[in-house]
Amino acid sequence: MEVVAATRSGRVRGSAAGGVARFLGIPYAAPPVGPDRFRAPRPPEPWDGVRDATAHGSTAPRVPYPGDLGALLAERDVPGDDLLNLNVWTPDPGAAGLPVMVWIHGGAFTNGSGSEPAYDAAAFARDGVVAVTFNYRLGADGFALLDGAPADRGLLDQIAALEWVRDNIAAFGGDPGQVTVFGESAGAMSTVTLLSMPRTRGLFRRAVAQSGAGHTALPRADAEAVARVLAGRLGVPPTAEGLAGVPADRVLAEQARISAELRGGTPDPAVWGDRFTDPALLPFAPAVDGEVLARRPIDAVRAGEGADVDLLVGTNRDEFRLYLVPPGLTALLTEEHLAARTAAAGLPAGAPAAYLAAEGVAGPGEAVAAVATDAVFRIPAQRLMEARSRTGARVHGYEFAWESPLFEGRLGACHAVEIPFVFDALGPRTLAGPDAPQHLADEMHGAWVRFARTGDPGWEPWNPDRRPVMRFAAPVSAVVHDPGAATRRLWDGVAD
């Protein structure tokens, strides 16, 4: 059945079935092509008549995930210029005052879209929530720091999408004063970054950060170095005008080479100097330029920014296994590798033994994955919760500990495995594999909906004394206190 809603730019025609109306591919900004490629987003051109919104819109150009990740994290690719578009699911466009949830997709700021099958938000609409997903510019187009262009264009796109929600969501039954932003990985990092920015005040009331916190922002000098090398290898100056003359496919190819080079953790010092030795580095990510982003998000949160926004933060127990198990690296890593990894992180001499004895760890390969999980995900999340508590702002915490059966169970509770549970969209083509427990999806999805409605997911807020978090697991989920305390304490005093 067709259904029509009116936006400020014009009317859109969606489809309705099973008590859920879907509006797909609605532009929230003009196409970022031609002279607009490296500019801040501007409003879409209004249209006459009724625009079709029954099919997903264009997705941002990107290089597929490498190797085994590409098979596990398949992406929907829709060519076209009108990539700054969004999707809306609603139980009733004629309703009023429904809570709104806006999803920011992950993908290391170089991959993903709001149109991936895993992000079908029908279950949220089924439960009385208006849900929105959207695309934003990725990689160099979204985040390279270029002379003659605003920094962090991908972040500016995200803000433009939230402004569209503020201005238009009532036409779909939603309450613009009751918006929850939630995201995973780079989407969670984006969520915390938006939380930390004064210019987003009033755009959302609640936020959920799944496997991402407030530490991922490049210092200006590092972002300038990435842009300089990228442009130099493309034979142009590191300016908006210079890169505008380079076809997107050439930029993407060089961007992918730089990402692989820097994320390997051993960049050529003749090219990069002594920077970029962190193997988890995201070279095309938000930059602290002093204007769009004034300081690191975690530092702004520590100063009290975003304290009026309800916050839910969590990580998966075995995040980094997603990157080490499929290519078989966990079987190759030794205790020597573990000792080198803990030493490089600045951890004390007893760290290797502590990680080998940690819950769910079998052997040095999984211990290395646990160290990387802590460095990139768990410790930043802990410090985000600590920062909130010091300002007196409330925060809830969670840990996802259900283990995927894929790769004979070795994936564990890896990065992104919680997403189908949050969206209540289990299926054999997800990281959860076949026969995932529906009761766990009921619990987790229900907690997210409850949080969007009330700011309380259903368990006690986090505090620095007892550190309570909800552990989502099977056969039963329960509040636990300070999980993994022995390894967490190893990071006390380590610079962040």
Q: Tell me the pLDDT tens digit for each residue of 15-34.
A: 999 999 999 999 999 999 99
Report the pLDDT value the prediction gives residue 82, as an integer from 0 to 100.
Answer: 96
Under the banding of pLDDT at 50, 70 and 90, the label for residue 135 is: very high
Residue 399 pLDDT > 80: yes
Q: Which residue has the higher pLDDT, 191 or 427?
A: 191
Report the pLDDT value the prediction gives residue 262, as an integer from 0 to 100.
Answer: 87
Cα–Cα–Cα angle for 456, 208, 29, rounded to 5 degrees: 130
* Assigned CATH topology for domain 307-491: Rossmann fold (3.40.50)
Q: Which listed residue (75, 319, 403, 418) is catalytic? A: 319
Q: Which CATH class is domain 2-218?
A: alpha beta
Share of the chain above pLDDT 70, in %: 99
CA atoms of 14 and 24, how far apart (whole Å): 7
Under the banding of pLDDT at 50, 70 and 90, the label for residue 401 is: very high
CA atoms of 325 and 340, how far apart (whole Å): 19
Active-site residue, 211 included? no
Report the pLDDT value the prediction gives residue 279, as an integer from 0 to 100.
Answer: 66
Q: Which listed residue (9, 115, 185, 196) is catalytic? A: 185
Report the pLDDT value the prediction gives residue 65, as an integer from 0 to 100.
Answer: 87
Q: Which listed residue (56, 396, 415, 445) is catalytic? A: 415
Report the pLDDT value the prediction gives residue 219, as an integer from 0 to 100.
Answer: 94
Residue 278 pLDDT > 80: no
Instruction: List where CATH 3.40.50.1820 sits in the chain.
Output: 2-218, 307-491
Under the banding of pLDDT at 50, 70 and 90, the label for residue 67 is: confident
Active-site residue, 163 included? no
Q: Which residues contact 36 (CB under 8 A, 6 or more apart)?
A: 30, 42
Residue 496 pLDDT > 70: yes
Residue 158 pLDDT > 80: yes
Q: What is the CA radius of gyration of the chain?
A: 22
Report the pLDDT value the prediction gives residue 266, as an integer from 0 to 100.
Answer: 74
Mean pLDDT of 444-451: 98
Mean of per-residue pLDDT scores for the chain: 95
Mean pLDDT of 416-434: 93
Q: What share of the chain is helix, strand, coil (3-state, %, to 5)?
A: 35, 20, 45
Active-site residue, 389 included? no
